[in-house]
Amino acid sequence: MADIIPRGTPAWRATRNARVAFCVTAAFSAVATHWPRLALAAGDSPVDKLAHASNFAFLSVLLWRTRWVRRIPVLMALMAAWATLDEVTQAIPVLHRHADLDDWLADLAGIAVACAFVAAFRPMGHGLGALFARRRACALDGLLANGIAWFHLATAAALGAAAGAPLGVLADSWFQRKAPQPWQYGFIGAVLGAGVAAHALLESGIRWRMRRNFAVRPCLACGTPHAGTAQCAACGRVHGEIDWCDAVGLDGREEGRLCVKPVALGVAAVIVLNFAAIALLTSLRLHVDAVMRFDRWFAGLPTDARILADATGVALVGAWALAQCRRRIAGALDQGGARCLRCGFDLQATAPGEGGGRCPECGTGFVRVGDGARH
Ligand SMILES: [Zn+2]
Ligand SMILES: [Zn+2]
Whether residue 200 is contained in a domain is answered as yes
pLDDT per position as a tens digit, 235-258: 888 888 888 887 778 888 999 999
152-193 residue pLDDT tens: 999 999 999 999 999 988 888 777 666 667 888 899 999 999
- Which ligand places an atom closest to the C-alpha of 223? 1
Quick check: 235 and 209 in contact, CB under 8 A? no
* Ligand 2 midpoint to CA 226 (Å): 30
What DSSP assignment string belongs to 53-112?
HHHHHHHHHHHHHTTS---HHHHHHHHHHHHHHHHHHTT-GGGT----HHHHHHHHHHHH
Residues 171 and 68 in one domain: no
139 lies in some domain: yes
Residue 316, domain member (yes or no): no
Please tell me whether residues 2 and 91 are part of one structural domain: yes
Same domain, 24 and 73: yes
Query: Does residue 3 carry a pLDDT above 80?
Result: no
> Residues 58, 21: one domain?
yes
User: Domain check: are 116 and 131 in the same one?
Assistant: no
Do 109 and 148 fall within a single domain?
no
Tell whether 86 and 106 lie within a shared domain.
yes
- Going from the Cα of 118 to the center of ligand 2, the distance in angstroms, rounded, reads 34
Helix (H) or strand (E) holding 346: none
Residue 374 has a pLDDT of 39
Q: Does residue 304 fall inside a structural domain? A: no
pTM > 0.85: yes or no: yes
Which ligand is in closest contact with the Cα of 235?
Answer: 1
More confident site: 148 or 355? 148
Q: Residue 118 falls within a domain, yes or no?
A: yes
Average pLDDT over residues 278-291: 86
Tell me if 161 is assigned to some domain: yes
Mean pLDDT of the chain: 88
Q: What pLDDT score does 372 carry?
A: 41
Same domain, 103 and 198: no
Question: Residue 170 has what pLDDT?
Answer: 87
DSSP string, 172-219: HHHH-SSS--HHHHHHHHHHHHHHHHHHHHHHHHHHHHHHHHHHH-B-
Q: What is the pLDDT of residues 20-37, one digit of tens each?
A: 999 999 999 988 887 776
Q: Let me know whether 5 and 115 are in one domain.
A: yes
Asked whether residue 9 falls in the same domain as residue 117, the answer is: yes
For residue 343, give the ligand nearest its CA: 2
> Residue 141: is its pLDDT beyond 60?
yes
From CA 148, how far away is CA 91, in angstroms rounded? Answer: 39
Counted domains in the chain: 2
Q: Give yes or no for residue 217 having a pLDDT over 70.
A: yes
Is the model's pLDDT at 216 over the cut of 60?
Answer: yes
Q: Which has the minimum average pLDDT: 114-123, 271-280, 365-374? A: 365-374
Q: Are residues 136 and 94 in the same domain?
A: no
Q: Which domain holds residue 206?
A: 126-216
Instruction: Examine residue 336 and state whether it is found in any structural domain, yes or no.
Output: no
Last residue of a domain, one of 122, 152, 169: 122
Cα of 210 vs centre of ligand 2, distance in Å, is 24
Burial of 355 (0-12, 13-18, 19+ CB in 10 A): middle
The predicted structure's pLDDT at residue 96: 65
- Does the residue 307 lie in any domain? no
Q: What is the pLDDT of residues 194-205, one digit of tens each?
A: 999 999 999 999
